């Protein structure tokens, strides 16, 4: 199917001239079903339609695709989109075709017949977009095809998705991406758009240089997700912290991320044993199990998925209410990407990170251990360590989390967000001289041979066998800190490590040792101010729902009441039937946010139905009547 024959709006628009703003907006509505551009999208579309080149940095889910898909419809000729993963390509092409756009892909996964037909449409100038794998694109024979088609029909633009793959500094280097820069020289007049969600300046500059985009304007934005509350808490008894969080968030679904498969399994088991609906998900599970869990989570039959980073792609569930990091993520990029799975529907959601300094130390040690002598590996380790340090700095920070996060992604914000743990409950500092002296002197009394947890046990006067058999109940610091909690002392010990009063020997069981700096403090010649330890798990629900969390959050009701919930479930069932009939994933038909909006706004006419976000002309034609029937049925007065 070609958009040219199918969509009158598209035919008229395919003139070589610059696209007027209203034309772009019409297409956004008619083809994609969106009433408004997101910030920057419109500027990028105009810029590219005018023949410009662009470097686009936006988070995953930020809406990068529109930035090249819309210009592809507005400009004459076919757009060539380079994408590294066949599954991503397929998803995008399916979604475009579902919207009535003439899109196809060409890669090694196609049957010979499919490949021939894609190429035939391309040569006939029938396609708006052709998705191509980089290794295919840069072959001599394909470049010749490009040349031929460019001469006959013109090329609308080149778009490189996941452009960080071109850089060795990125986390996902692909050698076949490197040659993409040659396209700039071969087709200098074709607009070129590179998109990525990877932020650090080194990667960014490298990508731009390699693709010949150093002079191209850089569009950065859309990283804020104001409805997600960001919190970091000291990790002291993680399982208990997790269960009390889940108990306080009854009936909500969410994801718990941890770093290893074993741990995912273990925590899921513990949660199930404690009566929570939970399952583990990781790459070591058979594909069948992974599909089953993914499905059960999407359809609310499992409330909590305890997962490794493997759980992520294709989660199009709008009502994920929380994402908890049980372990420290390795980079801010992955942290951001993972918390971004919460609150896609714009309603209040939580991102909770359990942070332990010991985890940071272990993560550092693991990175160093992976080092061998090659120079490339050396550079790699350096990058990984810097990224980890940035993550630790974020977790350890005492400024507004959102400002810190957006700052990392190059978005400068000059006000605090009011929706993070630091803003809601700024850390309190106190004169900790006496507490610090107690910790340091306890470390000294124990012969500098024990870790923070043991030191804390001695301070509170714990009655453990180890302490008794080692005779530590007789040291002078035993029990002198009993009026405060064990966690309080562990936290103080960590702060003292952080400030350089204690050294933690990672190679030797994280044993604490005094440094030179500790002497004046111990002798009472110096005073010290520290943050008062906080060990709460999270804020109460009441506090959360009463706060304003930005415009997006108020667009939809927080709860669906009875009849709406029933309608939603009927709409979901219809969506499933449509998806099965056409052999596409359910979210290609309509995503959750679209169904939710239908259930809430209950459009009963074609015109009203078209105003729903995600409903364009093609989907209206294809599904409108069936969905309207379900809505009318639920809305008709009952006998
Ligand atoms: P990215 O490629 O940046 O990861 P996508 O382009 O896939 O993100 O867009 C993410 C989601 O946002 C998709 O579900 C898309 O339909 C939706 N979206 C994009 N632009 C808009 C818009 N202007 N209005 C409403 N939804 C949008
Ligand atoms: Zn804040």
With cut-offs at 50, 70 and 90, classify the pLDDT of residue 20: low
Spacing, Cα 629 to ligand 1 middle (Å): 28
- Cβ-defined contacts of 356-360 (< 8 Å, 24+): 356/234, 356/235, 356/236, 356/328, 357/396, 357/494, 357/497, 357/498, 358/452, 358/510, 359/235, 359/327, 359/328, 360/328, 360/388, 360/392, 360/395
pLDDT recorded at residue 10: 31
Q: Dihedral of CA 23/28/30/34: which sign?
A: negative
Give burial (CB, 10 Å; 0-12/13-18/19+) of 151.
exposed
DSSP line for 515-539: -TTHHHHHTTS---EEEPP------
Q: Which residues have CB less than 5 Å away from ligand 2 (the ion)?
A: 400, 402, 416-417, 420, 423
Stretch among 363-372, 457-466, 532-541 having the lowest mean pLDDT: 532-541
Spacing, Cα 507 to ligand 1 middle (Å): 46
Q: Which residues line ligand 1 (CB under 6 A)?
A: 34, 36-38, 41, 58, 60-66, 591, 613
Residue nearest to atom 19 of ligand 1 (CA): 63
C-alpha span between 354 and 536 (Å, rounded): 11
pLDDT recorded at residue 372: 64
Spacing, Cα 293 to ligand 1 middle (Å): 25
Spacing, Cα 221 to ligand 1 middle (Å): 13
pLDDT at 412 over 80: no
Q: Each residue of 113-138: pLDDT tens digit?
A: 999 999 999 999 999 999 999 999 99
User: Hey, is 157 helix, strand or coil?
Assistant: strand
Spacing, Cα 67 to ligand 1 middle (Å): 10
With cut-offs at 50, 70 and 90, classify the pLDDT of residue 508: low
Ligand 1 nearest-atom number relative to CA 37 = 23
pLDDT recorded at residue 131: 98
Residue nearest to atom 9 of ligand 1 (CA): 63
C-alpha span between 219 and 203 (Å, rounded): 15
| Contact present, 522 and 441 (Cβ < 8 Å) | yes
With cut-offs at 50, 70 and 90, classify the pLDDT of residue 8: very low
Q: Each residue of 457-498: pLDDT tens digit?
A: 999 999 999 999 999 999 999 999 999 998 889 889 877 886
Q: Each residue of 239-250: pLDDT tens digit?
A: 999 999 999 998
Ligand 1 nearest-atom number relative to CA 64 = 3
Spacing, Cα 594 to ligand 1 middle (Å): 12
From the CA of 402, the nearest ligand is 2
From the CA of 226, the nearest ligand is 2
- Any residues with CB less than 8 A from the CB of 303 and at least 6 apart, and which? 251, 252, 253, 254, 276, 277, 278
Spacing, Cα 573 to ligand 2 middle (Å): 40
C-alpha span between 396 and 471 (Å, rounded): 36
Ligand 1 nearest-atom number relative to CA 316 = 14
pTM assigned to the model: 0.62
pLDDT recorded at residue 302: 94
Residue nearest to atom 10 of ligand 1 (CA): 61
Spacing, Cα 615 to ligand 1 middle (Å): 13
Residue nearest to atom 11 of ligand 1 (CA): 61
Spacing, Cα 401 to ligand 2 middle (Å): 5
Spacing, Cα 66 to ligand 1 middle (Å): 7
Mutate to test the pocket of ligand 1, among 31, 37, 66 (most ligand atoms within 8 A of CB): 66
* Cβ density class 104-126: b for 16+ within 10 Å, e for less: bbbbeebeeeebeebbebbeeeb
pLDDT recorded at residue 553: 31
| Contact present, 351 and 230 (Cβ < 8 Å) | yes
Residue nearest to atom 18 of ligand 1 (CA): 63
Mutate to test the pocket of ligand 1, among 44, 65, 312 (most ligand atoms within 8 A of CB): 65
Helix (H) or strand (E) run with residue 231 in it: strand 228-234
From the CA of 423, the nearest ligand is 2
Q: Dihedral of CA 90/92/95/97: which sign?
A: negative
C-alpha span between 635 and 629 (Å, rounded): 10
pLDDT at 107 over 70: yes
Residue nearest to atom 21 of ligand 1 (CA): 63
Q: Which two tokens stand for residue 92?
A: 């995008």
User: Hey, is 420 helix, strand or coil?
Assistant: strand
The mean per-residue pLDDT over the stretch 573-577 comes to 91
Mutate to test the pocket of ligand 1, among 38, 63, 220, 551 (most ligand atoms within 8 A of CB): 63
Q: Each residue of 299-317: pLDDT tens digit?
A: 889 999 999 988 987 777 8
The mean per-residue pLDDT over the stretch 184-193 comes to 93
Phi, psi (5° rounding) for residue 386? -65, -40
* Cβ density class 619-639: b for 16+ within 10 Å, e for less: bbeebbeebbebbeebeeeee
Q: Which two tokens stand for residue 123?
A: 């040569």
Task: Give the residue with greater pLDDT, 372 vs 397.
Answer: 397
Helix (H) or strand (E) run with residue 349 in it: strand 349-355
Spacing, Cα 467 to ligand 1 middle (Å): 58
With CA atoms as reference, report the closest residue to 110 among 137, 81, 133.
133
Spacing, Cα 445 to ligand 2 middle (Å): 41
From the CA of 230, the nearest ligand is 2
The mean per-residue pLDDT over the stretch 550-566 comes to 49
Residue nearest to atom 14 of ligand 1 (CA): 61
Beta strands in 109-154 (DSSP E): 129-132
Ligand 1 nearest-atom number relative to CA 38 = 23
pLDDT, the chain, mean: 85
Ligand 1 nearest-atom number relative to CA 95 = 16
Spacing, Cα 310 to ligand 1 middle (Å): 22
From the CA of 39, the nearest ligand is 1
Percentage of the chain lying above the pLDDT 90 cut: 54
Stretch among 39-48, 68-77, 515-524, 594-603 having the lowest mean pLDDT: 594-603
Percentage of the chain lying above the pLDDT 70 cut: 89
C-alpha span between 448 and 306 (Å, rounded): 38
pLDDT at 597 over 90: no
Residue nearest to atom 25 of ligand 1 (CA): 34
Spacing, Cα 62 to ligand 1 middle (Å): 6
Residue nearest to atom 2 of ligand 1 (CA): 64
Phi, psi (5° rounding) for residue 130? -125, 120
Phi, psi (5° rounding) for residue 239? -65, -40
Residue nearest to atom 27 of ligand 1 (CA): 63
Specify the pairing of strand 218-220 against strand 54-57: parallel
* Cα angle 301, 304, 306; round to 5: 130
Q: How many residues does the chain have?
A: 639
C-alpha span between 495 and 355 (Å, rounded): 13
- Any residues with CB less than 8 A from the CB of 48 and at least 6 apart, and which? 54, 67, 68, 71, 157, 191, 193
| Contact present, 35 and 13 (Cβ < 8 Å) | no
Q: Which two tokens stand for residue 373?
A: 């002598």
């Amino acid at each position: 199917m070609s958009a040219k024959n199918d969509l009158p709006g598209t035919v008229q628009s395919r003139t070589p001239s610059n696209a007027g703003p209203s034309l772009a907006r019409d297409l956004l509505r008619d083809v994609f079903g969106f009433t408004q551009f997101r910030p920057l999208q419109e500027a990028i579309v105009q810029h590219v339609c005018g023949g410009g080149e662009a470097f686009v940095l936006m988070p995953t889910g930020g809406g990068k695709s529109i930035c090249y898909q819309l210009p592809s419809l507005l400009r004459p000729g076919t757009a060539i989109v380079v994408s590294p993963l066949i599954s991503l390509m397929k998803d995008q092409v399916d979604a475009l075709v579902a919207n009535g756009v003439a899109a196809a892909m060409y890669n090694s996964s196609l049957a010979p017949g499919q490949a021939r037909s894609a190429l035939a449409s391309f040569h006939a100038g029938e396609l708006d977009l052709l998705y191509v794998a980089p290794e295919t694109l840069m072959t001599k024979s394909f470049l010749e095809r490009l040349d031929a088609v460019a001469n006959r029909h013109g090329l609308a633009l080149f778009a490189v998705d996941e452009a960080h793959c071109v850089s060795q500094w990125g986390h996902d280097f692909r050698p076949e991406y490197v040659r993409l820069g040659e396209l700039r020289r071969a087709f200098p007049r074709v607009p070129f758009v590179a998109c990525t969600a990877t932020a650090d300046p080194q990667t960014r500059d490298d990508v731009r240089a390699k693709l010949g985009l150093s002079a191209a304007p850089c569009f950065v934005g859309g990283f804020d997700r104001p409805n997600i509350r960001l919190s970091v808490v000291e990790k002291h008894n993680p399982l208990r912290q997790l269960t009390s969080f889940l108990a306080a968030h009854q009936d909500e679904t969410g994801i718990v991320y941890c770093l290893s498969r074993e741990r995912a399994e273990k925590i899921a088991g513990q949660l199930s044993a404690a009566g929570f609906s939970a399952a583990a998900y990781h790459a070591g599970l058979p594909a069948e199990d992974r599909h089953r869990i993914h499905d059960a989570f999407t359809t609310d039959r499992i409330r909590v998925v305890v997962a490794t980073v493997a759980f992520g792609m294709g989660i199009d569930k709008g009502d994920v209410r929380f994402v908890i990091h049980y372990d420290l993520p390795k980079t801010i990029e992955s942290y951001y990407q993972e918390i971004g799975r919460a609150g896609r529907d714009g309603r209040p959601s939580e991102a909770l990170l359990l942070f332990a300094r010991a985890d940071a130390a272990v993560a550092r040690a693991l990175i160093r251990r992976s080092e061998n002598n090659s120079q490339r590996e050396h550079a790699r380790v350096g990058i990984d360590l810097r990224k980890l340090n940035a993550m630790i700095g974020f977790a350890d920070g005492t400024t507004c989390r959102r400002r810190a996060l957006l700052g990392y992604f190059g978005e400068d914000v000059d006000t605090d967000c009011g929706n993070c743990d630091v803003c809601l409950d700024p850390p309190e500092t106190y004169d900790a001289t006496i507490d610090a002296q107690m910790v340091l002197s306890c470390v000294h009394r124990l012969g500098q041979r024990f870790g923070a947890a043991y030191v804390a046990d001695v301070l509170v006067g714990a009655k453990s066998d180890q302490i008794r058999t080692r005779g530590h109940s007789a040291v002078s610091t035993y029990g002198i800190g009993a009026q405060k909690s064990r966690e309080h002392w562990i936290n103080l010990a960590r702060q003292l490590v952080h400030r350089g009063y204690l050294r933690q020997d990672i190679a030797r069981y994280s044993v604490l040792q005094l440094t030179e700096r500790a002497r004046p403090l111990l002798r009472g010649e110096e005073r010290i101010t520290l943050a008062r330890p906080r060990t709460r798990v999270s804020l109460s629900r009441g506090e959360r729902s009463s706060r304003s969390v930005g415009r997006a959050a108020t667009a939809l009701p927080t709860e669906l009441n009875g009849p709406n919930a029933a309608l939603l479930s009927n709409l979901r069932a219809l969506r499933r039937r449509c998806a099965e009939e056409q052999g596409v994933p359910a979210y290609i038909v309509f995503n959750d946010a679209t169904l939710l909006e239908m259930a809430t706004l209950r459009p009963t006419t074609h015109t009203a139905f078209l105003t729903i976000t995600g409903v364009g002309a093609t989907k209206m034609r294809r599904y409108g009547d069936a969905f309207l029937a379900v809505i009318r049925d639920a809305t008709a007065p009952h006998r």
